[in-house]
Amino acid sequence: MTNSVLKKIHYYTLTYHLKKLNKMQIKAIYFLGCSKACVQPGSMDKVNSSVVSEFVLLGLCSSQDLQLFFFVFFSVLYVVIVLGNLLIIMTVTSDNSLHSPMYFLLGNLSFVDICQASFATPKMIADFLSEHKTISFSGCIAQIFFIHLFTGGEMVLLVSMAYDRYVAICKPLHYVVIMSRRTCSFLVMVSWAVGLVHTLSQLSFTVNLPFCGPNVVDSFFCDLPRVTKLACLDSYTVEILIVVNSGILSLSTFSLLVVSYIIILVTVWFKSSAAMAKAFSTLAAHITVVILFFGPCIFIYVWPFTTYPVDKLLAIFYTIFTPILNPIIYTLRNRDMKAAMRKIMTYYLRPKKISEMPLVVRNSLY
């Protein structure tokens, strides 16, 4: 037999046997290869035996035309998110009439929204113009850290805002005492603390996983359920821990929000029908934001055993669309906030009279 015939026989024999291997057996082969490649004498004390130095992100789509459209679309959205939330923060801090618990929490929510939209969106936008969409191993771990830090913190912060509305409507006479500056600061610190504990616990499950072969993530950022499936061992236990961790946080905060809204509506319903209609119109918008934020999180992280192509589209809701909806829902529907924004924009944008200009500027005009 010639060498070419022998090579063909060897190739078809190898292909035949590989087709009989299931996913777990292939991962075991990768793991054994990894162990031989990266476990050297005296190196057993290393924390991570991963040989994967980078991950490949498939992004939202592969079409060049759609990627150009997405580049423009998401660039505009990101600029609107940053400018809109910065405007809210500047308005809340500069206008004395807005120095109240509700607007203090709103300003903190805007800051979290900017952070949440910035952990992966700039890279996603840059990847639309790049042929090779890769991210380093440390960059991938950093994305997992920040997404769980900001989403976990925002969940608790939304509950704090719902509690503020509950006290204002159900216990108006005690509102100033209950929602003091100290209480508001405590609620904000608790939200960051919960987010930090949540993300550190998630990282403790994944940072030591061995990544020895597969490194393709079918998303626009390092999504935890998809990354854990690339590990060179059975990820069933890790997925259970993810379900318990994310499930307790997301379902408990979502339940608290629903209960608080129900109590508010029941309380207002006994007062008057007009107040009920006003409260329902306000809470309906808030509930819409809550569903758009919690729905994808619960769908992706409470059932991570099976990944679907729609998961990366759902991830856009809590990484991009929610940060842009919060300013619209919590600001543009608020009279005091709109009046304060109008005042600030009028002050900074209207042409100043000569008498209002600084003395140095006035002298330079003559």
Q: Which fold has domain 53-335?
A: Rhopdopsin 7-helix transmembrane proteins (1.20.1070)
Q: Quickly list H helices, 39-120.
A: 64-94, 101-118
Q: Do residues 141 and 203 lie in contact, with contact meaning Cβ atoms separated by under 8 Å?
A: yes
Q: Supply 68's token pair.
A: 């150009």
The residue among 173, 159, 192, 165 whose CA lies nearest residue 101 is: 165
Beta-bridge mates of residue 217? 57
Pairing state of beta strands 216-217 and 54-57? parallel
Q: What are the DSSP E strand ranges found in the chain?
A: 54-57, 134-136, 216-217
| pTM, two decimal places | 0.77
Q: Would you tell me how many other CB atoms lie within 10 Å of the CB of residue 169?
A: 17
CA-to-CA distance for 50 and 154, rounded, in angstroms? 32
Residue pLDDT tens, the chain, 366 long: 444 444 444 444 444 444 444 444 444 444 344 443 343 434 334 444 457 788 999 888 877 788 889 999 999 999 999 998 998 898 889 888 888 898 899 899 999 999 999 988 999 999 998 888 899 989 999 999 999 999 999 999 999 998 998 888 888 889 999 999 999 999 999 999 999 999 999 888 788 888 887 888 888 888 888 888 888 887 788 888 888 888 889 889 999 998 988 888 888 887 766 666 667 766 777 777 788 788 887 777 766 566 666 777 778 887 888 888 877 777 766 777 878 888 877 777 766 555 555 554 455 545
DSSP letter assigned to residue 97: G
| 3-state SS assignment for residue 169 | helix
Interhelix angle 236-269/137-170, rounded to 10 degrees, is 20
DSSP letter assigned to residue 328: I
| 3-state SS assignment for residue 215 | coil
Q: Any idea where the domains of the chain sit in the sequence?
A: 53-335
